Amino acid sequence: MPVSPCIGICMLDPATRECRGCHRTTAEIAAWYRASAAEKRELLARLERRLSTARESDTSR
């Protein structure tokens, strides 16, 4: 079973509506505990893509 991406820094960014710690939306956070293992793996993959995109945006400034 995939492990939660929560790192204990639970603060929503008002601009993105994502947690500043794990980068999940409130809907993704709420859905985590009832999600299947496959759904959790898909969410983790989406988070990786989201973080990669955010890093690319930061370095292009």
Q: Where are the domains of the chain?
A: 10-61
pLDDT at 61 over 70: no
Residue 58 confidence class, pLDDT cut points 50, 70, 90:
confident
User: Rounded to whole angstroms, what are the CA distances from 46 to 28, 53, 61?
Assistant: 11, 11, 23
Helix (H, G, I), strand (E, B) or coil at 56: helix
Higher pLDDT, 60 or 6: 6
- Tell me the pLDDT tens digit for each residue of 6-56: 999 999 999 989 999 999 999 999 999 999 999 999 999 999 998 888 777
